[in-house]
Structure 1
Amino acid sequence: MRETQEETSTVQQRKVWDADAARRYDTPGTGMFTPEVLTPAVERLAELAGGGAALEFAVGTARVAIPLAARGVRVTGIELSPPMVEQLRTKADEASLPVVIGDMASTAAPGDYTLVYLVFNTISNLLTQAEQVECFRNAARHLGPGGRFVIELWVPELRKLPPGQSATVWQVGAEYIGLDTYDVLRQRVVSHHLDFDQAGQARVFRSPHRYIWPAELDLMAQLAGFELESRHADWTGAEFTEDSRSHVSVYRLPPT
């Protein structure tokens, strides 16, 4: 049964991150590509790499990997979607940014790493708890003693659900509407992104996720041999509180 679930998860994500999604993914200077979003993440990851090499799970089009490599960090990526890698290759070649095609829960990348990282909620693309645990174990396999695994992840917004309702709207604008629909029984959420053109026509993009509470994430880490080193609300080191909408969690293997 577990193998069937994992195959379904992989198939679903490949359907989501197709050639059309890859072409539309990069939005230079806007959204998650703005300097105020990207620069703190790159600076923090460069610091955590500590002079060693870094491995990015679900590297995508290398939004983070390319500027991190420009900081002098040797970066390798693992990516499930060939179209996303094709888009990446328009910006960086194999010599400067090696990429292995495969899923982040089981695929191995050659090399020795001091840092493995997952940004922008990507661990939730794994749609079962078993796969998410295996993702931690895969990170541990790529790290030596004292190595770090960093995860950026949103906090499920179940407190915002009205009684009897299953959806939360998290952004509304003239050109964009974002909302999430929750399945609390299976701990699933589907993000719906509606982009409107000048004629008022909408393009809809949907992505399925399995949401994870911070405490559950910590238990996954423990199962893989990690300890929680730090948790902040963002890449700048802001305090994580009960009202934080996301977190950056740094896990570390024992030094010996």
Structure 2
Amino acid sequence: MTTYHERPAVPAGRYSDDHAADYDRWFGKPGITAATVDTLALLAGEGRVLELGVGTGRIALPLARRGFEVHGVEASQAMAARLRAKPGGEGVRITLGDFAEVPVEGVFSLILVVGGTLFELPSHEDLQRCLTAAAEHLEPEGVLVLDAHVPEALAVAAASGVPEVVSESDDHLILCHRRIDPSTATYHSHYLVHEADRTHHLRVRFHYASPGELDLMAERAGLRLRTRLGSWAGGPFTRGSAYHVSVYERR
């Protein structure tokens, strides 16, 4: 018999703890991951790499396999444990803590916060705090790279009522519908996860900012936009883009 499990909306950090064991199986996207790693490897140069919200190592481990010295910050002990248990996981230096504080020592040629992870922070103040702290840990020629949904595109998709197919395989199907609240600059991602023996509903809360708002925060942090792409595959960012990959450098 199929069973149903529903929980109230939770911050993304707690969601990571609760579902660390399923995260890779549910949300692993090999094609996107490969394109992301290729782009980041070109930007990293020969210096150290720091991933904020390193999770289970989807990006950190492939970068480490390419010879980079990779550090990561992760709030979820469960996610960090999954990373450490993977082949090569011992080679990624993990700091447990709030990634908005960037609680590490030294400087890096590449700092990244990807997979929409930046919007896990609960407020604009926290977004600003994160960008400011990250800027302080960049080498003079280093770059900060982030990706995120474009809020206007999220609103259009939400209004359509058509759910996104996040992941599907022989043993599961994940659909997502997002509900936007412009008054609080938040959106809730409603995930319907159907597996052979269970179907459950996850609601995760995120706090968003537009690309322009992120650029202003970056300026306050002493950074400037170097380039913005419409995808990890390298397509241009246009008025119709639903997603952006933004690269910031020191001013």
Structure 1 position 33 matched with structure 2 position 32: no
Report what 2:225 is aligned to: 228
Structure having the higher strand fraction is 2
What letter matches 1:169 in structure 2?
P
Report what 1:51 is aligned to: 46
Q: SS in structure 2 opposite 1:241?
A: coil
Q: SS in structure 1 opposite 2:165?
A: strand
Identity %: 33
The alignment's C-alpha RMSD in Å is 2.2
String of CA shifts for 1:45-98, please: whole Å, max 9, x gaps: 111111111100000000000001111111000001111001111115675111
String of CA shifts for 1:181-208, please: whole Å, max 9, x gaps: 1111001101111111235x41222211
Report what 1:16 is aligned to: 15
Is the 8 Å Cα contact of residues 178 and 188 (structure 2) preserved in structure 1? yes
Report what 1:192 is aligned to: 190
Structure 1 position 170 matched with structure 2 position 164: yes
Report what 1:152 is aligned to: 147
Structure 1 position 219 matched with structure 2 position 181: no
What letter matches 1:248 in structure 2?
V
Gapped regions of structure 1 (runs ≥ 5): 1-10
Is the 8 Å Cα contact of residues 168 and 181 (structure 1) preserved in structure 2? no
CA distance in 2, matches of 1:12, 1:235: 26
What TM-score comes out, normalization by structure 2 length?
0.87
Gapped regions of structure 2 (runs ≥ 5): 1-9
Aligned residues: 236
String of CA shifts for 1:140-187, please: whole Å, max 9, x gaps: 11112121000011112223454xx9x663338883321011111001
CA distance in 1, matches of 2:102, 2:114: 18
Deviation at 1:44, TM superposition (A): 1.0
CA distance in 2, matches of 1:123, 1:129: 11
Runs of 4+ in 1 over 2 A off after TM superposition: 11-15, 30-33, 92-95, 159-162, 167-176
CA distance in 2, matches of 1:161, 1:21: 24
CA distance in 1, matches of 2:219, 2:28: 30
CA distance in 2, matches of 1:168, 1:128: 28
